[in-house]
Amino acid sequence: MQTFRIALTGDFLDESGKSAYGDIGLSALGGIPYLQYHFLTDQAPVQGDSAYWIRLYSMEVMAAHIAGINGLVVLRPWVKRAVFLSGATDLVVIGRSGAGYDKIDVTACTENDVAVFNAPLALNHSTASTALMFMLALAKRLVQQDRVTREGRWDQQAAVMGSELQGRTLGIIGLGHSGRELVRLVAPFEMIVLAYSPHADPAGAEALGVRLTSLDELLQRADFMSLHVRLTDRTRRIIGAAELGRMKPTAYLINVARGELIDQDALTAALQNRRIAGAALDVFEIEPLPADDPLTRLDNVILAPHWSCSTADIWKATGQAMAAGMLRAARGLVPDDVVNPQVLERPGFLAKLSRFAVNRPEQDAKKP
């Protein structure tokens, strides 16, 4: 038996030291003699620490955190190249509890023979349904109607009249897991669906009822534009002042992916000047969004604290994906959904992983 040691970042915990998000999959790891896990408690919130959430988004996993650790589960902290300066002779896998992994230096992980996996399928429905929720709220002008009702301004009903999704054009940037799920969800609304996704298969898109197009055409034709791409150097600020300037003045922009996909200052200006009709944002360039940010003073944008996709079901599903990946690694097997497949051919990674093959059940010991 070869003990496999797992560390989880401390932001999974609440101030009492318990899971802040209910069932995060740890029950699947209990009672297995070769598995040990603990939380990095120095990253956990402390009672009365009002600045914790401001610091949290800049926290990093340190070299001391991975000493003697074979598997690391990360929620919000960064995993930068510096963590490997002392080597990573024990670390085999990093699991990102979610879909995005832009805060992990994947290249450094590969160079240090560490596989990185995520949980893309656990989040695709929630992400897509959140985008649809925002589309409906924007189209029906739900926030404005709520405000009129609360303020007793029933005589202004006509001023907050909404519109239908039916017959409108939805533009999706990124036809990956959540993008395709959004296509499925909007089918009953009889929308025209366009997508900008350079690596998408045209035949596959056509089978979904989607027409692939250029970004320029998408910007000009979309009544609702929803972002569903990973944050990379190429996609960072894919929507800036020029792109916003090509959108219809009646168009709405939805972002449930990453805040850095949009030039936030340019979007703020476009909303202030009514260059576009409105937006719905669950993510921002700087998180947490400062309470005095100009976006908070606008009536044509819906804001959410990077939390709209979070449900008890999602935390359980992502937790189960993390537990399953760690259990596979603890048995000398490659986790599902590895985002740096190049590492799977590196002798150093294979040597580290093979140490744990002794933990497989006898009937599975010869399986690759």
Q: What are the structural domains, with CATH classification, of the chain?
A: 4-118+311-364 (3.40.50.720), 123-303 (3.40.50.720)
pTM here? 0.91
Closest by alpha carbon to 259, among 223, 229, 286?
Answer: 286
- Contacts of 336 by beta carbon, 8 Å cutoff, 6+ apart: 117, 321, 324, 325, 328
Alpha-carbon gap, residue 64 to 254, rounded angstroms:
40
Q: What pLDDT shows up at residue 270? A: 99
Q: What pLDDT shows up at residue 54? A: 85
Residues 290, 118, 22, 40, CA torsion sign: negative
Q: What pLDDT shows up at residue 86? A: 81
DSSP track, 38-80? EEEGGGS--TT-TTHHHHHTT-B--HHHHTT-SEEEESSSBB-
Radius of gyration of the chain (CA): 23
Q: Is 16 helix (H, G, I), strand (E, B) or coil?
A: coil
Q: Count of CB atoms within 10 A of residue 128's CB? A: 25
Angstrom distances, CA of residue 2 to CA of 5, 115, 217:
10, 19, 56
pLDDT tens string, the chain, 368 residues long: the values are 999 999 999 999 999 999 999 999 889 998 999 999 999 999 999 887 878 988 999 999 999 999 999 999 999 999 999 999 887 899 999 999 999 999 999 999 999 999 999 999 999 999 999 999 999 999 999 999 999 999 999 999 999 999 999 999 999 999 999 999 999 999 999 999 999 999 999 999 999 999 999 999 999 999 999 999 999 999 999 999 999 999 999 999 999 999 999 999 999 999 999 999 999 999 999 999 999 999 999 999 999 999 999 999 999 999 999 999 999 999 999 999 999 999 999 999 999 999 999 999 864 555 54
Q: What pLDDT shows up at residue 364? A: 55
Extract long-range pairs of 145-149: CB within 8 Å, 24+ residues apart.
147/299
> What is the set of active-site residues?
258, 287, 306
Residues 145, 141, 230, 285, CA torsion sign: negative
Q: What pLDDT shows up at residue 368? A: 45
Residue 361 token pair: 């059940």
Q: What pLDDT shows up at residue 363? A: 46
Beta bridge partners of 195: 172, 212
Crossing angle between the packed helical segments 142-150 and 120-139, to the nearest 10 degrees:
60
